[in-house]
Amino acid sequence: MKVSKTVIIVFILIALFVFSTVVYAADAMYRFMHNDHIALIIGEVVVVEEKSISVKVEKNIISAKDLNVSEAVKQVKISTADIKYPFDYMFYNSEKDGAKATPALGDYILISLAES
């Protein structure tokens, strides 16, 4: 009994499909969309000082996990971002660590107007 090349190729493709592993290519996006954060802040850096950064918030997305929590609004300090110039756009994601907010996935500069 002779097996055709088409049958062999189909069998190999089915085997690869069945035994393939799961790849999480959009892990950060999955975490944002499934409430794995306290707040997601996208904003424009207005003032850069020696120990602080002032950000004009363009968009603030609060996690659904904390909507029913009655707490005073707390100021989030961004201490790990490498932002050197005003008017850069940044992206900040935080999660709760005890009583304070800590960066979840880090701080990212989205658009920098500074010359490279």
Which residue in this structure is represented by tokens 């069945």?
A: 18
Residue 96 tokens read as 């709760």
pLDDT of residue 79: 47
DSSP H stretches of helix in the chain: 5-18, 27-33
Q: Rounded distance, CA 33 to CA 90, Å?
A: 19
Q: Which of 110, 111, 113, 114 is nearest to 40 (CA)?
A: 110
Contact (CB, 8 A) for 91 and 58: no
pLDDT of residue 73: 47
Please tell me what DSSP assigns to residue 65.
Answer: G
pTM: 0.32
Task: Output the tens digit of pLDDT for each of the chain's 116 residues.
Answer: 577 889 999 999 988 888 876 665 556 666 666 666 556 666 777 777 776 667 677 665 555 555 555 554 444 444 445 555 555 556 565 666 665 556 565 555 555 545 44
